[in-house]
Amino acid sequence: MPILQTINKGHVPVKVYTDDIEHSAYQQLVNMSQMPFIHSHIAAMPDVHCGIGATVGSVIPTKGAIIPAAVGVDIGCGMNAIRLSIKADQLPDNLRGLRSAIERDVPVGFNMHKYDAVPDSTVRALSNGLSNIWEKHPKLKSKQKQPYQTWIRQLATLGGGNHFIELCLDENDDVWVMLHSGSRGVGNAIGQYFIEMARRDMEKVQMNLPDRDLAYFNEGTSHFNDYIEAVGWAQDYAMINRREMMRLVLKVLKARLPNFKVTKEAINCHHNYVSEEHHFGETVFVTRKGAIRAREGELGIIPGSMGAKSFIVRGKGNESSFCSCSHGAGRVMSRSKAKRLFNEQDLATQTADVECKKDKSVIDEIPAAYKDIDKVMANQTDLVDVVHTLKQVVCIKG
């Protein structure tokens, strides 16, 4: 489906791929469009909803500046999916044991490994980059307790919130492993640190912003360069975190399932990140806050909620969206509202066919708290083609 509405209340238009947008998210899009360094326009995906400063589900091209809060604190958050060579009927009838085994070997929530769970060479490579960032910004270390041990032991861990590990079945009954996670505590620390720094920089020059969370760094300044270095490191960390977590999940499965191979159809993509790209005649910084890149022929992952379908998609390279698409269903209510409205029985009913937690700790992730994934997909047929439709049978939440 093409662009459904255009907002013309700022320096550039906002092209929106949905007619279902809450007032607070609408205002955030207006605020962003007033920033003087936006290139061409802003694209809002079908799952767009209110975020901090910038909407989740938006694609923001900037020239000469970057807004740290638009990238957010879960820097490099994204998806990893792999198709296995086994079928649904080769899974055990009772999937509780598989879920328990994965939860035992892959720390979730605030938990972390008690030892270094990834190869030493990977740790050394990441350590060199982070040490350089810490040397320039020693106060960054104070954002975490035992920062050096923490970032290492959180590699190959899930985290909490909407992060998950799933076993899914596609339309051919092929088994997939899919997971969603980011840069963990160290990415959060980097995000918070530079968001606060951008605010202070704006206060010094008495910049009048439509929202204090749209504070930015100008290209060429030391803080801009340091942020680019730090956010790039966090994005690498997030990619490695997903890769290493997938390795641990596959190790669990190989010990408990019939012999299988991993197919070549594997995807590891960010959906909270910034990258330098060329669009509409200019090289710009593209911030995708809750959106994935969907260049022509490029594979991506659009997950639904705990009880809904997910999709493997192929990008169409639509320039109006800056070659992007949605990153999921998108929330329709806050976590606190979901906890007020729903109970454990509601969760059990809405996830009846999924082996997952069904207690109060994950009520805020209940499917009803999210938009209808089918409608979200219908609104972006101009952006992607569906390659596989997945339905989860196991879902592990933090």
User: pLDDT (tens digit, 9 = 90+) per residue, 265-297?
Assistant: 689 999 999 999 999 999 999 999 999 999 999
397 known ligand binder:
yes
Which CATH number fits the domain 5-332+370-397, given the four candidates 2.70.98.10, 3.90.1860.10, 2.40.160.10, 3.40.50.300? 3.90.1860.10
3-state secondary structure at position 72: coil
34-62: per-residue pLDDT in tens?
999 999 999 999 999 999 999 999 999 99
Flag whether 162 is marked binding. yes
Q: Is 46 annotated as a binding residue?
A: no
327 given a catalytic annotation: yes
**Residue type at 345?**
Q
Beta bridge partners of 376: none
Q: Where are the domains of the chain?
A: 5-332+370-397
What letters, b where the CB count within 10 A reaches 16 and e where it falls short, cover 278-315?
ebeeeebbbbbbbbbbbeeebbbbbbbbbbbbbbbbbb
* pLDDT of amino acid 261: 94
The verdict on whether residue 272 carries a ligand-binding annotation is yes
328 annotated to bind ligand? yes
* Pairing mode, strands 291-293 and 299-302: unpaired
Count of CB atoms within 10 A of residue 276's CB?
A: 9
Number of C-beta neighbours around residue 156 at 10 A: 26
Q: Which residues contact 195 (CB under 8 A, 6 or more apart)?
A: 68, 69, 73, 213, 215
Under 8 Å CB-to-CB from 34, ≥6 apart: which residues? Answer: 9, 10, 11, 210
The sign of the CA dihedral 21, 81, 272, 143 is: positive
Question: How far are the Cα atoms of 116, 296, 352 from residue 94, in angstroms, in the given order?
Answer: 32, 40, 14
> What is residue 380's three-state secondary structure?
coil
List the one residue out of 44, 77, 40, 34 whose CA is nearest residue 62.
40
Give me the chain's average pLDDT, please: 95
- CA distances to 67, 248, 260, 356 from 257, in Å: 46, 14, 8, 19
How far, in Å, CA of 329 to CA of 371, rounded? 5
Determine which helix (DSSP H) or strand (DSSP E) holds 132, and give its type and residue range.
helix 120-136
CB hemisphere CA count around 142 (13 angstroms):
4
d(Cα 123, Cα 119) in Å, to the nearest integer?
A: 7
Sign of CA dihedral 68, 71, 77, 81: negative
Query: pLDDT at position 265, please?
Result: 65
- What's this model's pTM, rounded to 2 decimal places? 0.96
Tell whether residue 182 is among the known ligand binding residues. no
163 is in an annotated binding site: yes
Give CA–CA dist 398/325, Å, rounded.
Answer: 26
219 labelled ligand-binding: no
Residue 249: predicted pLDDT: 97
Helix (H) or strand (E) holding 203: helix 184-204
**329 among the known binding-site residues?**
yes
CB atoms within 10 A of CB 248: 19
What are residue 19's phi and psi, to 5 degrees? -105, 5
Radius of gyration of the chain (CA): 21
* Token pair in block for residue 195: 């968001």
Q: Which residues of the chain have pLDDT under 50?
A: none
CA distance 292 to 327: 6
> Is 39 part of any known ligand binding site?
no
Pairing outcome for strands 174-181 and 164-169: antiparallel
The residue from 39, 41, 49, 327 that is catalytic is 327
